[in-house]
């Protein structure tokens, strides 16, 4: 068999100009977006102005368009937009930064209209994000006079640009001079005042905070944070910056007014345990507050806070931070207390996950085998992870979890998960060879062979599942 040719610029060059031209023409005839790239590259041989004329025609069409773009047409539309953007950044940008910026700003101003005419598309968002990011590197190549006028030019069309506007400004701030930062700050301050909604003004206030940090103005950054509505204010971020600056007392004051989030939040463990809402920032807030207390010389308070937070959250990072502050050999007693607490916790899925991840697989297995607990195969994200960890050292516990997963899939007829169910069954076959035959009986469970026979009896008509098993 002939060796596979490497697809690189060097190997392509070996084909020669004629063969490459033939391939390009063939692809351009079948691919409209690629054809536009080729036409733009050819126009580039006459200078950036020639490419700009092609781009301007496409932008004019974008600005006038009103028809909705449905799913069958979205991919071609995305390719066309990508080709237009590439013509600006790759063909015009290297030759003329001012011209490229003019066209990029015009391209970005079409964002609001394009998003209104299309279904949600991550690809489109990425394209406009890339266009915004391209502005910064081009702006540093402008003459000082042109660069000085850029803030005012950009602010005239931010409303047209919609959600991409903050990204445009952020790209330009990264490389802005001190003088330009002053102008940006004044314009953004005016924009915040002009916007009646605090939420609408949020992204522009954050841009002002970016400027404050670039200036090294921590007090200015904190002052802007304090102007935000309570729900948008991030006391943790303020406290951390103040602590890093050696201002622990102020950091503690900010942290003490930080309110638990009003957002309902539940991860897979919460859903398994029936916890519908919890303060998901509690571990981070407690960890930071403990660091602040230590900086203030209040080490015991810090440790008390860490332990209290661990009891509520079973967060392993909090426990590790607690252990690192203990005297030699004291950690063994604390760990015993922590594991006992986890075994008795009402949030049994979170406790199981904690014990398996620490890892204390013997305790995790003990929790699995507890006669009072029934593990629900619906919570596969938790149970599969734990079963995978247990299968080598604790085959009996792993068996119970894999069985719960298989029974859930078959009982509910979850055909999309049949492949996973077959894989679990294969693991159970392997686990059965390493189990004491009496172990399952002591738990009141069927032997592996009897359990498989039961599955065949109850679910023998699910041919698709058994076909997966046969494979």
In this structure, the answer to whether residues 419 and 440 fall within a common structural domain is yes
400 with 429: CB under 8 angstroms? no
Segment 138-160 shows an average pLDDT of 87
In this structure, the answer to whether residues 399 and 327 fall within a common structural domain is no
Task: Tell whether the model's pLDDT for residue 300 goes beyond 90.
Answer: yes
Number of domains in the chain: 3
Of the segments 57-66, 230-239, 252-261, 359-368, which one has the largest average pLDDT value? 359-368
CB atoms closer than 10 angstroms to residue 460: 10
DSSP assignment string, 294-332: HHTT-HHHHHHHHHHHHHHH--HHHHHHHHHTSPTTHHH
Give me the phi and psi of 362, to 5 degrees please.
-65, -40
In this structure, the answer to whether residues 155 and 37 fall within a common structural domain is yes
User: Rounded distance, CA 454 to CA 449, Å?
Assistant: 9
In this structure, the answer to whether residues 424 and 301 fall within a common structural domain is no
Residue 320 forms part of a structural domain: yes
Task: Tell whether the model's pLDDT for residue 33 goes beyond 80.
Answer: no
198 to each of 148, 154, 156, 187, 206, how far by Cα in Å? 29, 22, 20, 17, 12
Residue that is last in its domain, among 151, 176, 201: 176
Residue 191 forms part of a structural domain: no
Task: Tell whether the model's pLDDT for residue 1 goes beyond 50.
Answer: no
Give me the phi and psi of 374, to 5 degrees please.
-120, 120
State residue 156's pLDDT score.
86
Three-class SS of 187-248: HHHHHHHHCCCHHHHHHHHHHHHHHHHHHCCHHHHHHHHHCCCCCCCCHHHHHHHHHHCCCH
State residue 147's pLDDT score.
86
Residue 214 forms part of a structural domain: no
Task: Tell whether the model's pLDDT for residue 274 goes beyond 80.
Answer: yes
User: Rounded distance, CA 191 to CA 161, Å?
Assistant: 15
pLDDT per position as a tens digit, 34-82: 665 566 566 556 668 888 898 999 999 999 998 998 888 888 899 889 9
Residue 196 forms part of a structural domain: no
pLDDT per position as a tens digit, 344-353: 999 999 999 9
In this structure, the answer to whether residues 28 and 101 fall within a common structural domain is yes
Residue that is last in its domain, among 149, 176, 203: 176
In this structure, the answer to whether residues 385 and 348 fall within a common structural domain is no
CA dihedral 202, 203, 209, 214 (to 10 degrees): 180
Residue 238 forms part of a structural domain: no
Collapsing DSSP to helix, strand or coil, 43 comes out as helix
pTM: 0.79
54 to each of 35, 47, 187, how far by Cα in Å? 12, 12, 33
In this structure, the answer to whether residues 272 and 379 fall within a common structural domain is no
Collapsing DSSP to helix, strand or coil, 446 comes out as coil
User: Rounded distance, CA 273 to CA 351, Å?
Assistant: 10
State residue 2's pLDDT score.
46
State residue 371's pLDDT score.
73
Residue 455 forms part of a structural domain: yes
Residue that is last in its domain, among 319, 336, 358: 358
424 with 418: CB under 8 angstroms? no
User: Rounded distance, CA 122 to CA 190, Å?
Assistant: 31
Is the omega angle on the peptide bond into residue 293 within 30 degrees of 0, that is, cis? Answer: no
User: Rounded distance, CA 164 to CA 448, Å?
Assistant: 58
Residue 232 forms part of a structural domain: no
Please calculate the CA angle 458-460-466 and round it to the nearest 5 degrees.
130
In this structure, the answer to whether residues 63 and 159 fall within a common structural domain is yes
In this structure, the answer to whether residues 26 and 170 fall within a common structural domain is yes
396 with 365: CB under 8 angstroms? yes
State residue 40's pLDDT score.
57
pLDDT per position as a tens digit, 6-23: 667 777 677 667 666 566
The rounded percent of the chain whose pLDDT value lies above 90 is: 65
Structural domain containing residue 101: 17-176
State residue 374's pLDDT score.
87
In this structure, the answer to whether residues 307 and 164 fall within a common structural domain is no
In this structure, the answer to whether residues 151 and 47 fall within a common structural domain is yes
Residue 463 forms part of a structural domain: yes
In this structure, the answer to whether residues 395 and 340 fall within a common structural domain is no
User: Rounded distance, CA 78 to CA 84, Å?
Assistant: 10
């Amino acid at each position: 068999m002939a060796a596979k040719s490497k697809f690189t610029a060097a190997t392509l060059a070996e084909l020669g100009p004629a063969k490459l031209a033939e391939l390009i023409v063939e692809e351009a005839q079948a691919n409209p977006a690629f054809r536009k790239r080729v036409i733009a590259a050819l126009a580039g041989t006459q200078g950036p102005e020639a490419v700009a004329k092609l781009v301007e025609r496409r932008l004019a069409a974008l600005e006038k368009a009103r028809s909705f773009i449905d799913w069958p047409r979205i991919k071609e539309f995305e390719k066309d937009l990508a080709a237009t953007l590439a013509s600006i950044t790759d063909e015009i940008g290297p030759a003329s930064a001012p011209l490229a910026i003019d066209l990029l700003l015009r391209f970005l101003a079409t964002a609001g209209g394009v998003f209104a005419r299309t279904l949600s598309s991550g690809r489109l968002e990425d394209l406009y994000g890339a266009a915004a990011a391209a502005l910064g590197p081009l702006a540093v190549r402008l003459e000082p006079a042109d660069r000085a006028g850029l803030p005012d030019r950009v602010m005239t069309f931010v409303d047209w640009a919609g959600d991409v506007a903050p990204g445009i400004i952020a790209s330009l701030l990264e490389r802005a001079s001190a003088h330009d930062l002053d102008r940006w700050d004044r314009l953004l301050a005016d924009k915040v005042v002009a916007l009646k909604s605090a939420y609408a003004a949020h992204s522009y206030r954050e841009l002002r905070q970016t400027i404050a940090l670039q200036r090294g103005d921590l007090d200015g950054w904190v002052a802007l944070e304090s102007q935000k509505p309570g729900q948008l204010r991030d006391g943790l971020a303020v406290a951390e910056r103040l602590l890093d600056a050696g201002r622990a007392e102020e950091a503690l004051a900010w942290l003490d007014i930080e309110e638990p989030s009003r957002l309902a939040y539940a991860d897979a463990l919460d859903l398994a345990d029936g916890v519908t809402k919890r303060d998901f920032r509690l571990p981070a807030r407690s960890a930071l507050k403990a660091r602040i207390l230590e900086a203030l010389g209040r080490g015991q308070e810090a440790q008390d806070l860490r332990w209290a937070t661990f009891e509520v959250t079973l967060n392993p990072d909090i426990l590790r931070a607690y252990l690192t502050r203990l005297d030699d050999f004291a950690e063994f007693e604390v760990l015993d207390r922590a594991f006992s607490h986890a075994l008795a916790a009402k949030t049994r899925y979170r406790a199981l996950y904690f014990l398996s991840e620490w890892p204390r697989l013997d305790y995790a297995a003990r929790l699995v085998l507890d006669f009072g607990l029934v593990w629900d195969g619906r919570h596969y994200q938790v149970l599969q992870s734990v079963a995978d960890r247990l299968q080598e050292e604790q085959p009996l516990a792993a068996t119970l979890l894999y069985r719960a997963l298989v029974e859930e899939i078959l009982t509910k007829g979850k055909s999309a998960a049949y492949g996973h169910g077959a894989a679990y069954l294969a693991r159970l076959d392997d686990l059965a060879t390493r189990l004491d035959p009496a172990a399952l009986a002591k738990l009141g469970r069927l032997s592996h062979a009897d359990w498989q026979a039961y599955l065949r009896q109850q679910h023998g008509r699910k041919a698709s599942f058994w076909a997966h098993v046969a494979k």
